[in-house]
């Protein structure tokens, strides 16, 4: 699926009229842009289907925002239409100063700033940069279940379809760790990450810590 990213930054006044007022305006907006870019990224929780509305308000308020989108086909009762949908429904990213968060929270559709225990937590700058670079590259992308190394997953494609185990990253390759509990032994099978899906938490048995496989496992990968 084709991916696209909606993002904007504060822009200076149009060129062409270098009156003193316009020069002052451009300098002011340029200073404001530099100030906004020094703030961390945060994820705004927004009401369902309000992502683009919130993004438009952020743009009008000269905030830097990021709404990653991808093109997909949506089926209605009488037709199928290609639309742009958010990669993260219900969220819009924005750089903001927490000391001046009220104007952001007053935007129609904004529910809260994502955080822990009532305290907003910034999004990793590198993660935003990587996502923006990936979308800019034009490489096909689509939403995918979040997988953590050590998370229990199920293979849904290929000859091993139906097997469950722990996802392990070893020397740049993904492996599915299959364990025989009573023997306290495991086997690691190299898999394509696209084959696996996370197992719901309520279906996961109690598991011990994930250990790094011995180097001899490379011979069977």
Confidence at 175, pLDDT banded by 50, 70, 90: confident
pLDDT digits (tens, 9 = 90+) for 97-116: 999 999 999 999 999 999 98
Task: With a cut of 70, say whether residue 43 has pLDDT above it.
Answer: yes
Residues whose CB falls within 8 Å of the CB of residue 81, separated by 6 or more in sequence, listed in order: 73, 74
Q: What percent of the chain has pLDDT over 90?
A: 33
Query: Model-level pTM greater than 0.75?
Result: no
Confidence at 212, pLDDT banded by 50, 70, 90: very low
Task: With a cut of 80, say whether residue 169 has pLDDT above it.
Answer: no
Confidence at 66, pLDDT banded by 50, 70, 90: very high
Q: Strand, coil or helix: what is 212?
A: coil
In sign, the C-alpha dihedral spanning 91, 92, 94, 98 is negative
Tokens of 25: 């305006």
Task: With a cut of 70, say whether residue 35 has pLDDT above it.
Answer: no
Tokens of 128: 């935003």
Is the model more confident about 10 or about 128? 128
pLDDT digits (tens, 9 = 90+) for 138-162: 877 888 878 677 888 888 887 778 8
Rounded mean pLDDT of 9-34?
Answer: 48
Judge contact between 71 and 84, C-beta under 8 A. yes
Q: Where do the structural domains in the chain lie, given as residue ranges?
A: 3-137, 152-220
Which helix H or strand E contains 119, and what residues bound it? Answer: strand 119-120
pLDDT digits (tens, 9 = 90+) for 73-88: 888 888 888 999 999 9
Task: With a cut of 90, say whether residue 119 has pLDDT above it.
Answer: yes
Contacts 24+ apart (CB under 8 A), 122-128: 122/40, 122/41, 122/42, 123/40, 123/41, 123/42, 123/43, 123/93, 125/40, 125/41, 128/41, 128/66, 128/93
Domain 3-137 class, CATH top level: alpha beta
Q: What is the rounded end-to-end Cα distance, in angstroms, of the chain?
A: 31
| Residues in a beta bridge with 112 | 45
Q: How many residues does the chain have?
A: 221
Which helix H or strand E contains 134, and what residues bound it? Answer: helix 125-137
Question: Cα-atom radius of gyration of the chain, to the nearest Å?
Answer: 23
**What pLDDT, on a 0 to 100 scale, did the predictor assign at position 168?**
81
Strands 41-46 and 80-86 turn out to be unpaired
Confidence at 208, pLDDT banded by 50, 70, 90: very low
| Nearest residue to 141 via CA among 92, 84, 95, 75 | 84
| Nearest residue to 144 via CA among 109, 153, 136, 122 | 153
**What pLDDT, on a 0 to 100 scale, did the predictor assign at position 180?**
57
């Amino acid at each position: 699926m084709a991916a696209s990213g909606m993002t904007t930054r504060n822009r200076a006044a149009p060129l062409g009229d270098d009156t003193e007022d316009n020069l002052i305006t451009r300098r002011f907006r340029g200073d404001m842009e530099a100030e906004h870019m020094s703030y961390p990224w945060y994820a705004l929780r927004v009401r369902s289907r309000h992502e683009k509305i919130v993004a438009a308000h952020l743009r009008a308020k000269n905030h830097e925002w990021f709404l990653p989108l991808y093109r997909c086909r949506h089926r209605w009762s009488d037709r199928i239409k290609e639309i742009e949908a958010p990669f993260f429904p219900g969220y819009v990213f924005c750089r903001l100063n927490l000391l001046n968060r009220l104007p952001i929270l007053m935007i129609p559709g904004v529910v809260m700033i994502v955080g822990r225990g009532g305290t907003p937590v910034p999004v990793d700058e590198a993660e935003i940069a990587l996502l923006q670079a990936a979308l800019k590259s034009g490489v096909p992308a689509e939403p995918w279940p979040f997988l953590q190394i050590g998370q229990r997953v199920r293979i849904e494609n290929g000859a091993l379809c139906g097997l469950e185990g722990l996802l392990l990253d070893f020397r740049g390759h993904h492996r599915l760790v299959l364990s025989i509990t009573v023997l306290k032994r495991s086997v690691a099978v190299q898999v394509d990450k696209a084959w696996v899906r996370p197992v719901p938490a309520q279906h996961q048995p109690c598991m011990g810590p994930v250990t790094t496989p011995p180097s001899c496992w490379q011979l069977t990968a």
